[in-house]
Amino acid sequence: MRKVMGLRASGARVHVVAPQVDRELKEVAGVTWEERAYRAGDAAAYHVVVAATDDRGVNGDVAADADRNGVWVNSVDDPERCSFTLPSIVRRGALTVSVSTSGRSPALARWLRERLDEEIGPEYEVLLDLVASERDAMRAGGRSTEDVDWRSALDSDMLELIRSGQVTEARERLQACLSSSSA
């Protein structure tokens, strides 16, 4: 389910083949499914395959089949059989933070993602929107955004202002920091 949800969040069309498909997964929008065992040659019909069963042998068969057919494959808990790995991801609107161990320890990646998920709250989405809007306005006005001291603005108390619901004040702080950095 985690893999399916991650793929869907990225906009992928997902088709699941499994002897038994959980009721919850059957209800996920944009996911199609077949309740049956994997058959040799199935991988050839896809661009990307994720082998995520509880059976290491089945995962290995799927990975080998995908490899024979030139299809990218992620075989969970078996980095040697992966042509790509999937990072653990924290999303806050357009902000995406990913953690990867290159398949060496999915548990560590998941643990660290959970910690970041607690640390990077919804206020970061608002922060991104404010900073991006100001950047867009600067560019629309013909001003370069490369020589601006963004760091000072981001290191200011903008995030605390956003957390306390003072978004207008955070925007004003951003503008003040940016105008003083160009003086």
Q: What is the pLDDT of residues 25-72, one digit of tens each?
A: 999 999 999 999 999 999 999 999 999 998 999 999 999 999 999 999
The domain tally of the chain equals 2
Return the SS3 of 59: helix
Residue 13 lies in a domain: yes
CA distances to 44, 79, 126, 171, 181 from 84, rounded to whole Å, are: 17, 8, 32, 40, 42
Q: Which domain holds residue 157?
A: 123-181
Going by pLDDT thresholds of 50, 70 and 90, the confidence category of residue 147 is confident
Give 3's pLDDT tier (boundaries 50, 70, 90): confident
Whether 142 is in a domain gets the answer yes
Q: Is residue 102 part of a domain?
A: no
Q: 105 in a domain, yes or no?
A: no
- Res. 77 pLDDT band, cuts 50 70 90: confident
Residue 83's pLDDT band (cuts 50, 70, 90): very high
d(C-alpha 86, C-alpha 72), whole Å:
12
pLDDT of residue 49: 96
Q: What angle do CA 146, 147, 151 make, to 5 degrees?
A: 90
From 86, 105, 136, give the residue that closes a domain: 86
Answer whether residue 110 is part of any domain.
no
**Hey, what are 51's tokens?**
């082998």
List the beta bridge partners of residue 97. Answer: 90
pLDDT of 106 = 83
- Which of 86, 113, 136 is the last residue in one of the domains? 86
Count Cβ neighbours within 10 Å for each residue of 93-108 and write b for 16 or more, e otherwise: eeeebebbbebeebee
Exposure on the CB side of residue 114, measured as CA atoms within 13 A: 6
* Secondary structure class of 129 (helix, strand, coil): helix
CA dist., res. 113 & res. 87, Å (int): 9
User: Is it the case that residue 155 has pLDDT exceeding 60?
Assistant: yes
Rg over alpha carbons for the chain, rounded to the nearest Å, is 22
How far is residue 45's CA from residue 26's CA, in Å, rounded to a whole number?
21
Please provide the average confidence, as pLDDT, over all residues in the chain: 92
